[in-house]
């Protein structure tokens, strides 16, 4: 509206100026008709231009009013949108707060679990460290024990070899001594027979003592009508074995040990010799004299390699070494049982024991 008013005032001023100019020219008498017509045309053209401009101003004013209306409507919509945004923002904040509370509620057990898990991991790490320490300690003691066992084995081996040599030397000495004893006895027998013939005395063959035999001592040369005192004291070989075995079955280890020793002394090559050596080894084992037990079981293995007691003797040797904490030799012997007698009960027990030993 202000632009239209300005335009109208401009028109009035223009027309007033034209009229004043015309009046001036009329009075001055210097203006010609041609000048007046020119001025008139210019005035008409200006008027037309002013009218066109006025119409454009009216159109522009109408467009401005429409634009103003649209702006008002837009401002109203913006206000509504702002209100909705404010409401949505408040609701969103409430929802975010609610979600944060829910997340906090959910995260609390997770945090506790993570803390517990961390504590358990720390504990496991400590246990692993302790186990590693114990493993290193066990490894050290195992290596130390292995060295000591190796030394002990070499010592035992030396003792066994020395004992074998001593036994061989002793057997040789006994045989030599028996030969020496047997020679004089034969000479005495010849002299006795010669003297009897000369004196005319008659003596029955039953009254003469028999000559000494290899393997008999002087004290064992007795009258044929009499049993040797040692055999008479223990009875027959069957009775001696049964008596010694009964003592072992009743738990009288000392009595059983004495009985088996006496049987081997009196009947060294009887049908019970193998069993006697084995049960004598069991007597030593029961007394926890493991070295003596190992040597006695070794007698069974060496003297009766095809005997029935060899698997038992070999297995019990392994158990004796195990009770002596000599796991190296124990494993070697138990493996030998499995190798030599794979289908025996002793092999099954050896496999089980090896599995336990690891």
Burial class (CB in 10 A: 0-12, 13-18, 19+), 69: exposed
**Mean pLDDT, the chain, integer:** 76
Q: CA 100 to CA 106: how far, in whole Å?
A: 10
- Let me know if residue 242 belongs to a domain: yes
Position with higher pLDDT, 42 vs 196: 42
Residues 264, 276 contacting (CB under 8 angstroms)? yes
**CATH number for the domain harbouring residue 264:** 1.25.40.10
Residues 292, 257 contacting (CB under 8 angstroms)? no
> 277 Cβ partners below 8 Å, 6+ apart?
260, 264, 296, 297, 299, 300, 303, 304, 309
pLDDT, tens only, 252-264? 999 999 999 999 9
- Let me know if residue 237 belongs to a domain: yes
Region 80-105 average pLDDT: 82
**Is the model's pLDDT at 216 over the cut of 90?**
no
- Give the pLDDT score at 117: 79
- Give the pLDDT score at 335: 96
Region 279-290 average pLDDT: 97
Q: CA 25 to CA 13: how far, in whole Å?
A: 18
- Let me know if residue 324 belongs to a domain: yes
Residues 271, 237 contacting (CB under 8 angstroms)? yes
- Let me know if residue 177 belongs to a domain: no
- Let me know if residue 300 belongs to a domain: yes
Q: CA 96 to CA 88: how far, in whole Å?
A: 12
Angle, helices 310-323/273-286, rounded to nearest 10 degrees: 20
Position with higher pLDDT, 200 vs 276: 276
- Let me know if residue 82 belongs to a domain: no
pLDDT, tens only, 47-89? 888 888 888 888 888 888 888 888 888 888 888 888 887 887 7
Neighbour tally for 7: CB within 10 Å: 16
Position with higher pLDDT, 239 vs 182: 239
Give how many domains the chain has, as a whole number.
Answer: 2
Could you tell me the pTM of the whole model? Answer: 0.40
**Is the model's pLDDT at 219 over the cut of 50?**
no
- Give the pLDDT score at 83: 86
Integer distance in angstroms from the first to the last C-alpha of the chain?
112
**Is the model's pLDDT at 280 over the cut of 80?**
yes
- Residue-number span of the structural domain to which 301 is assigned: 233-358
Position with higher pLDDT, 146 vs 123: 123
- Let me know if residue 241 belongs to a domain: yes
- Let me know if residue 193 belongs to a domain: no
């Amino acid at each position: 509206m202000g632009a239209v008013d300005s335009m109208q005032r401009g028109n009035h001023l223009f027309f007033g100026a034209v009229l004043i100019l015309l009046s001036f020219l009329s009075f001055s008498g210097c203006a010609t008709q041609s000048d007046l017509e020119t001025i008139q045309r210019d005035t008409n053209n200006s008027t037309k231009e002013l009218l066109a401009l006025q119409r454009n101003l009216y159109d522009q004013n109408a467009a401005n009013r429409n634009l103003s209306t649209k702006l008002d409507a837009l401002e109203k919509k913006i206000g509504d949108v702002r209100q909705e945004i404010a409401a949505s923002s408040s609701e969103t904040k409430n929802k975010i707060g609610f979600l944060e509370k829910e997340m906090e509620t959910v995260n609390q057990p997770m945090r506790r679990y993570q803390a517990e898990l961390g504590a358990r991991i720390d504990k496991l790490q400590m246990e692993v460290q302790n186990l590693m320490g114990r493993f290193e300690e066990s490894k050290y003691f195992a290596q130390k024990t292995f060295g000591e066992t190796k030394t002990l084995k070499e010592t035992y081996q030396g003792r066994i070899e020395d004992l074998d040599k001593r036994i061989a030397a002793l057997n040789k000495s006994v045989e030599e001594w028996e030969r020496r004893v047997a020679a004089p006895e034969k000479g005495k027998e010849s002299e006795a027979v010669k003297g009897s013939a000369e004196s005319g005395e008659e003596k029955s063959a039953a009254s003469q003592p028999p000559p000494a035999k290899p393997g008999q001592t002087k004290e064992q040369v007795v009258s044929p009508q009499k049993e040797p005192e040692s055999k008479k004291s223990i009875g027959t070989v069957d009775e001696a074995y049964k008596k010694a075995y009964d003592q072992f079955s009743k738990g009288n280890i000392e009595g059983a040990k004495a009985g088996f020793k006496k049987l081997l002394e009196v009947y060294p090559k009887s049908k019970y010799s193998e069993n006697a050596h084995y049960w004598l080894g069991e007597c030593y084992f029961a007394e926890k004299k493991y070295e003596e037990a190992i040597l006695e079981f070794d007698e069974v293995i060496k003297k009766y390699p095809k005997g029935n007691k060899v698997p038992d003797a070999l297995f019990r040797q392994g158990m004796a070494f195990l009770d002596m904490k000599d796991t190296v030799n124990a494993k070697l012997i138990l493996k030998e049982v499995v190798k030599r007698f794979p289908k025996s009960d002793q092999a099954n027990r050896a496999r089980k024991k090896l599995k336990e030993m690891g």
